[in-house]
Structure 1
Amino acid sequence: MKVRASRGDMLGNNNVRFSPTSGTSAASSEVLRKNHVPLYVVIPSDTVTSSNKVNRARALQASLKALKIVGVDGVLLHIWWGNVEGEGPQKYDWSAYLAVVKMVNAAGLKLQASLCFHGSSISGDSCDISLPSWVLRIGEGNPDIFHSDRSGHRSKECLSLAVDELPLFEGRSPLQMYSDLMESFRQTFSLYLGDTIVEVMVGLGPGGELKYPAFPDDLWRFPGIGEFQCYDKYMLEDLKNQASLMGKPEWGLGGPEGVGSYHSWPGETTFFNEDNGTWDTPFGKFFLSWYAGALVSHGDRMLALAGSIFQKDDLHVVVAGKLPGVHWWQKTKAHAAELTTGYHNSEGMDGYDLAVQMFAKNGALLTVSCMEMADDEQLAEAKCSPEHLLLQIRFACAKYGVPISGENSLIRFDEVAHERIKKNVHRVSCPELPRMAAFTFFRMGESLFQSSHWRLFVNFVQTLNKDIVDDSERASLDEECNMSVHPLKACT
C-alpha cells in the first residue's frame, strides 16, 4: 500500500505524519494528540449565487478578516457543480469562486474547497442550487439516472451511483464529467493549490456525504428509518447480476419486503424488527452487503479519481471525503437508519470498516460530523448514540492509519457544545486514538457574529488547542479579540 506523506502537515499540523500502514503505532504517538489542530469555519453555502455572483462581498471580506484576527486557520467553501457547469457541458464559469479564493488568500487564511456534485436546498441558508439544468433535462428523458425508492420517488439531489461509468450525458459518464470539472478546477486555481487551497473535499453523494439519499426532506421526518434507494433500473440490474453470481437469481428481483416507510420506526416493520427481523436472514444479509458494497465502490471510484488529479506533480493538497452521521437507532440490533443510508452496521457487523479501508487505500482524509453531540441530549425513544458512532468510526480510522477531521452537525454556539467538540478533537481520555487532523466549525453567518455568540466563539478558538497555547499568547489574543462590535457592521 502506497504511503502518502505529510497529509497532516498540509493542513497545517506542524510535523504530524500519517501512514495508512502504521495502524496503532500512529495512534499512540504523543505528537498526534498534542500538536496544533487547525480550525476552519464553513462560510455560507450561498456565498456564490445561482447566477454566479459573489453574495454580500463586503460583508464576506469583513468576516474573513475577523476570523483571521481571532486565530481561525481557514474556511471551507462549497463549490457547486450546478453553478460552475450550469450553462452547458464543459462550459465552466469559475469567476465568482476565483474572486472568493482571492479574498481568502488576501485575508491570510487557508481554504478547504468542497466540490459539491449534488444539489442543495439548505434551510436557513438561502441556498437553493440544483444539479446543472442540462443534466436535469437528460433526467426528464431518462429518470433512472436518479436514485429511486420502492414507490418510484426520484431523488434529484445527486446522480445514481449505478450510472458512474455509463456515457449517458452527451457521450460522457458521470465519472468523466466529475474528472473534467476537477481538471478544470486544478488548472484554474493552480496558483492557489497547496498554498491557500490545502484541501479538496470530494462530494460523494447527497449532502456531499458517502450515503444514499434515504432521508428526503419532503418525505422523511426524524427519527424515521428512511427507505432503500435501489429501484432505478441500473441499480436493479446490478442487484440481479450479483444475485446470479451467488447462484440465487430469486434474490435479484428487488429490495426486501416489510421495510416500512420513511418515517417508520423499526418496531413497525418486519425487516428491521428487534425480534426475528428479516435483516438477519441469508437474503437480508446478501442484500445489505450488496447495497453497502455498491456505495463503498462508488466512494472508491470518486476518491481514486480525485487522487489522480490532486495528488500528483508534488501538489501539497489533501483529498478528503465525508461519512454521514446517522446516529438514530444506533442502540438497536438492526441499526435501521444506517442500513437504508448504506452502512451494514447491524449486530455482528462493523459497517464502517470497509469504508475506512477504502479511504486508506486512496490516501484520503476522512471527515465525520456529530462532534458536538451527546447521547443524553437526544430523543431517548430513538435509541440514538452519536457518541458511539463517532468512536466506532475513529477506532476504524486508527486501525487503518486514516487521518480524520471533524465537523459539528448542528449550528450551536453554547459552551456545552464547544467543550464537547474540544474533548472529541483531542480525545485525551483515549490515548489509543490520535487527535484529529483538523476541525471545521459549522458555520459562519450573521448569528455567529452576534455579541454573545461571538464572545463564546472567540473563547472556543483560543482554547481549542489549550495544551499548546501559553498564557502570554492567550493574553495577546484576548487583547486582539475583544470585539464587541459586530464585524459585519463595518459594511453597513
Structure 2
Amino acid sequence: MKASLAAAAEVIGKKEWGGGGPHNSDQYNQFPKDTGSRSHAAELTAGYYNTRHNDGYLPIAKMFANHDVVFNFTCMEMKDSEEPDHANCSPEGLVHQVKTATRTARIELAGENALERYDAGGYAQVLSTSMSDSGSGLAAFTYLRMNKKLFEGDNWRHLVDFVRNMSEGGRRQRLPDFDSRGSDIYVGHINKTKEQNQEAGTVLV
C-alpha cells in the first residue's frame, strides 16, 4: 500500500505526499480541534478518509456491493447522550452515516455492540437502529461480550426480551418483570443458521 501511495503521488507530481499518511492528522487519540485537517484523527490514521467534507464509508459500501458483501458495523448500542461532552463524538451520527451509505449502495447492513452491555437501554438502542420500514434497518445483529454477568440480576431477562423483540421486528411489548411461566428464547432462526453454515460460532439474531 505504501508503494502504491508513493507511485500515485509521483504520477501527479506530488512526490512528497507519498511518504506516509496525512501529515497534519496528528495522532490517533487527538481531538479534531487539535489537528491541522480538523478531521476524525482516529479514522484517518486507520486509513478511513472520513471528514466533514468527505464520506469515507460510501466508497467502502460501493466496493462491498460489487462483491455482494454485507457491511457489518459496530456501536449499535451506543447513544450520543451517554458520551462525555469533551469527547465531542456522535456514535448515533456515525451509525446513521453508515446506514445511509449502505442504503445508497443497496447492500445489507449488519451490526454488533461495541461495549459490554446488559441493560435495557442498550438493547433498546439496538432495536431502534434495527427497526426500519424504509429498507435501512439491520439484516442481522451479533451480540458480543457474552460472559457470566449475563446471568446476574435482571441481565438474562433483558436479553430474552431483546431477542424476542428482534425476532418479531422490534414491535412487541417487553416481558413482564415477573415471568412465572418461564422464558423460552425463539431458536428457529438459530437452528436454521446452524444448518446452513454447518459450523459453530457467534449466533446472529
When normalised by structure 2's length, the TM-score is 0.77
Relative distance call for 1:377 and 1:353 in structure 2 (3 A) is same
> In the alignment, does 2:67 pair up with 1:362?
yes
> In the alignment, does 2:111 pair up with 1:409?
no
Contact 2:64 2:70 in 1 (8 A): yes
- TM-fit CA distance, 1:461: 1.6
Letter of the structure 2 residue corresponding to residue 251 of structure 1: W
Alignment of 1:173-184 (within 5 A): none
Relative distance call for 1:400 and 1:459 in structure 2 (3 A) is same
Q: Which residue of 1 aligns with 2:18?
A: 252
Q: Which residue of 2 aligns with 1:218?
A: none
Contact 1:395 1:433 in 2 (8 A): no
Letter of the structure 1 residue corresponding to residue 181 of structure 2: E
Question: Unpaired runs of 5+ in structure 1?
Answer: 1-161, 163-234, 274-333, 484-492
CA distance in 1, matches of 2:40, 2:182: 48
Contact 1:414 1:456 in 2 (8 A): yes
2:77 to 365, 372, 384: 372
1:454 to 149, 156, 161: 156
Contact 1:407 1:440 in 2 (8 A): yes
CA RMSD for the aligned pairs? 2.8
> In the alignment, does 2:27 pair up with 1:264?
no
> In the alignment, does 2:202 pair up with 1:437?
no
When normalised by structure 1's length, the TM-score is 0.34
- TM-fit CA distance, 1:369: 1.0
Alignment of 1:391-430 (within 5 A): 391-427=96-132
Alignment of 1:278-317 (within 5 A): none
Relative distance call for 1:470 and 1:272 in structure 2 (3 A) is closer
- TM-fit CA distance, 1:252: 2.2
- How many correspondences in the alignment? 182
- TM-fit CA distance, 1:388: 0.9
Q: Larger strand proportion, structure 1 or 2?
A: 1
Relative distance call for 1:384 and 1:455 in structure 2 (3 A) is same
Structure of larger gyration radius: 1
Contact 2:127 2:170 in 1 (8 A): no
Letter of the structure 2 residue corresponding to residue 424 of structure 1: T
Question: Unpaired runs of 5+ in structure 2?
Answer: 186-205
1:481 to 178, 183, 188: 183
Contact 2:131 2:169 in 1 (8 A): no
Contact 1:344 1:350 in 2 (8 A): yes
CA distance in 2, matches of 1:244, 1:433: 43
Relative distance call for 1:377 and 1:469 in structure 2 (3 A) is closer
